[in-house]
Amino acid sequence: MTTGLQLPDDNKPQETLAAIMAEKTYLASPSFEKGKYDSHGKPSSDFSTSEFSHSLLQQDARKLEAQVDLPPTQRVPAERQASLSKKLVFLASYFFLNLSLTVSNKAILGKAHFPWLLTTLHASVTSIGCFGMMGSGYLKVKRLNAREGAVLTAFSFLFTLNIAISNVSLDAVSLPFHQIMRSTCPVITIFIYRSVYGRTYSTQTYLSMIPLILGVALATAGDYYATLTGVIMTLMGVVLASVKTVATNRLITGAFWPMEVLLLMSPLATTQCVVYAFMTGEVYELRVALANGAFPSPTLRIGLIANACIALALNIVSFQANKVAGALTISVCGNVKQALTIALALLSAGILGYPSPVIINWNQTFDDASLVEGGSHLAKIAGVNEYVSNLGPEHDEDLVLMVDGYDIWLQLRPQTLVDRYFDINRRADERIRKEVGPAVAEKHNIRHEIIFGCQKRCWPWTFGDPPCYAVPNSSLPKDIYGPQTDTPSTNDENPYNNYRQRFLNSGMGIGTVRAMRKLFGQAFEQAQVESNIGSDQYIFSRIFGDQEIWREAVRRDSLQTTSSLAKQWMSGHPKDFFPQQHLEEVRKKAASREDGNFEFGIGLDYGSEIVLNTVFAEDDTEWLYFNDSSRLQEAEKVHVA
């Protein structure tokens, strides 16, 4: 979800509909004759509403008006009449609001997955805002003739149709594939302008399209998956998006002022989104959520208000930006955000002094229809396995930091991260030596070399599976959330709020090359057997759970003497409940390995010292500032029992 009237996952506000392609709509209709504006640049009381245009764009409109009688190929596009400073102001505002709305949408949809109803909120608030401006005299609308009314109606229908097609295609293609296809919108936009309007572009413009698309490809490489139907639907969405971008620009540089288009179209879009919400069952799901009484929470209400205000501001700015900057520039801006996340990750790593990253599975495609996500998750394991396997023994003690590309930013300097890595492993080694005994730990080389992130919910497994019940308890204080620690939360939006994080999250992993080579070798073998996995986290969690069962198995095997067995039976042990069947299964797995064990040195970052996993823990953090002690005190009142 990006902007505008915010229809799910497509929503570039600049993308509207190609219903107006007539030559005369390229021209500005407002006149600016003396006496039609007061000293403040607002329309005088006797000024015809059809002649109104915002003062910021008056000079551009005058220049366009002078071109009425010129052939289409000789007219200067509106964006070439606007000053550079004006373009930069609108584009910067557009980009900032676009990014802000994307972040806000992701947060809201994570708590309440009602994309069409959220779009309805955006469109309705935009309508209210526009009518408010009209009531205050800032915005006036001319009376539409039959043709103009039909054009705007078709305009709004195509807007929502494009979003609907995009949503359908997302069910048949992976998000990275969808992004790389959408990155071709500027190319389609150029083609439309050349073929329909005869506009020409410089060689530099054509060449700039290459790194633009490659940048998105770099950000999404390795996760491509699509069915034939998905490819066709995505292509249709790309063409419609490009046509809408051009049509929007033609419309708002012609007979309509941008705000006028926004006012007239937003009520139509609101109505259409409500229809879509009924058709997809969102309205029914919302009624059920409201009946349960837990929706919306006070925090979500505030978030929705802020989200709607951002959407209103973005809609206003985006329509203006399309006019002053042009359809092609707006299409290019849509690509910038798609590559921004990975660019910031690489930038943060570079600023902090990390080594250059290695991109795994570059320029590979994964389209096996029999596998989840086309086999891309299996390919993640295979790609890293190939990389670490090709590193010689001289690299065994080197550290490998493996992070997700889309949602990880680096904040710790390398030395801080390395220091914490060794400290976490030292404490984990002390714990396991007490649990299994120093002799057992030494005999079976039980020590920690790999650290994964940690989360509160065991996923994608269930509690009766080894990745859930067999893993160690969290090392966080048992009362970190007060008396309610490790009990279900009353917050229906996240029942895991009060749980200490305990389960593996594969978004970040760090370990020696030696340990990673062994882990990924096992993961690759296991993935061959269970190839239709939902994620790489499925495999790593399975190995972690089996490792903990194997540690318990060798601990029990070490109790050989009668006195040891009697002492064990009298005192009990927290892992006595481990099913014998699981213990025997892991013993067989260990026996089949060349080294005869199932130790991989995996541990977790329970205290979020290296990585802060926010999934199921969104309410565990607060924004703090170095110079604001009062904010720290307020946070402590909320989070410290």
The 3 state secondary structure assigned to 140-181 is: CCCCCCHHHHHHHHHHHHHHHHHHHHHHHHHCCECHHHHHHH
pLDDT score of 424? 95
Task: Name residue 473's amino acid.
Answer: N
Contacts of 37 (CB under 8 A, 6+ apart): 43, 44, 47, 55
| Diameter of the chain measured on Cα atoms | 108
The continuous run of DSSP H or E covering 116 comes out as helix 115-135
Give the lowest-confidence range in 43-52, 92-101, 242-251.
43-52
pLDDT beyond 60 at 574: no
Task: Name residue 69's amino acid.
Answer: D
What would the mean pLDDT of 580-591 be, rounded to a whole number? 91
pLDDT score of 448? 95
pLDDT score of 13? 32
pLDDT beyond 70 at 434: yes
pLDDT beyond 80 at 40: no
What would the mean pLDDT of 526-536 be, rounded to a whole number? 72
pLDDT classification of 126: cutoffs 50, 70, 90: confident
What would the mean pLDDT of 345-360 be, rounded to a whole number? 76
pLDDT classification of 567: cutoffs 50, 70, 90: low
pLDDT classification of 287: cutoffs 50, 70, 90: confident
pLDDT score of 516? 95
Distance of alpha carbon 4 from alpha carbon 375, whole angstroms: 34
Distance of alpha carbon 543 from alpha carbon 549, whole angstroms: 10
How confident is the model over 184-198, as pLDDT tens digits?
A: 777 887 788 788 777
pLDDT score of 447? 93
CA 515-521-524 angle, to 5 degrees, is: 140
Distance of alpha carbon 263 from alpha carbon 140, whole angstroms: 10
How confident is the model over 505-522, as pLDDT tens digits?
A: 988 899 999 999 999 999
pLDDT mean across residues, the chain: 73
How confident is the model over 393-428, as pLDDT tens digits?
A: 999 999 999 887 666 777 888 888 999 999 999 999
What would the mean pLDDT of 592-611 be, rounded to a whole number? 92
Contacts of 473 (CB under 8 A, 6+ apart): 500, 502
pLDDT score of 388? 92
pLDDT score of 255? 58
How confident is the model over 473-499, as pLDDT tens digits?
A: 999 998 888 888 888 877 766 788 889
Q: What percent of the chain has pLDDT over 90?
A: 18
pLDDT score of 294? 58
pLDDT score of 460? 84
How confident is the model over 288-298, as pLDDT tens digits?
A: 878 776 567 77
pLDDT classification of 311: cutoffs 50, 70, 90: confident
